[in-house]
Amino acid sequence: MKFLPIILTISLGTALPIAEDGAQDDKHDAGDDVAVVTSPIPGTPDSPTAKSFHDLDDKVSGLFLGGGKFDDDDGDCDDLVEGSAAACPDVIFVFARGSVEKTNMGTTVGRLMEASLKAQYGSNIWVQGVGGPYLATLAANYLPAGTTQAAIAEAQRMFVMAQAKCPTSSVVAAGYSQGTAVMAGALAALDAITQDQVKGCVLYGYTRNKQNGGVIPGFPVAKTDIYCAPGDAVCDGVLAVTAAHFSYSVEAKVNGPRFLVDHL
Closest CA to 24 of 206, 200, 252, 183: 252
Query: 79 an active-site residue?
Result: no
Of the candidates 99, 177, 247, 249, the residue annotated as catalytic is 177
Number of other CB atoms surrounding residue 13 within 10 Å: 10
Q: What is the pTM of this model?
A: 0.77
Q: Is the pLDDT of residue 44 over 80?
A: no
Domain span at residue 201 reads 72-236+244-262
Catalytic residue among 11, 225, 232, 247: 232
Q: How far apart are CA 216 and CA 203, in angstroms?
A: 9
| Inside any domain, residue 62 | no
**Contact (Cβ atoms closer than 8 angstroms) between residue 111 and residue 70:** yes
Closest CA to 200 of 181, 182, 177, 183: 183
Q: Look at residue 119 and tell me if it is in a domain.
A: yes
Amino acid at 40: P
56 inside domain: no
Kindly state whether residue 139 falls inside one of the protein's structural domains: yes
In a domain, 34, yes or no: no
Query: How many structural domains is the chain composed of?
Result: 1
Angle at the Cα of 148 (from 144 to 154), degrees rounded to 5? 140
Is 46 contained in some domain? no
Q: Evaluate whether 204 touches 175 at the Cβ level (below 8 Å).
A: yes
Which H, E and C letters describe 141-164, residue by residue?
Answer: HHCCCCCCHHHHHHHHHHHHHHHH
Q: Is residue 253 part of a domain?
A: yes
- 177 included as an active-site residue: yes
What is the chain's alpha carbon radius of gyration, rounded to the nearest angstrom? 17
Distance CA 73, CA 90 (A): 27
Active-site residue among 99, 245, 247, 249?
245
Active site residue 46: no
- How many Å apart are CA 5 and CA 37, to the nearest integer? 10
Q: What is the DSSP letter of 67?
A: T
Statement: residue 93 has pLDDT above 70: yes
Mean pLDDT score, 45-61: 41
Report the pLDDT value the prediction gives residue 15, as an integer from 0 to 100: 30
Q: Is residue 57 part of a domain?
A: no
Q: Summarize pLDDT for 116-174 with one digit per residue, the tens.
A: 999 999 999 999 999 999 999 999 999 999 999 999 999 999 999 999 999 999 999 99
pLDDT tens profile 14-29? 233 323 333 333 323 3
CATH number of the domain encompassing residue 77: 3.40.50.1820
- What phi and psi values does residue 111 have, to the nearest 5 degrees? -70, -35
**Mean of all residue pLDDT scores within the chain:** 80
User: How distant, in Å, are the alpha carbons of 45, 157, 243, 263 from that of 199?
Assistant: 44, 17, 31, 6
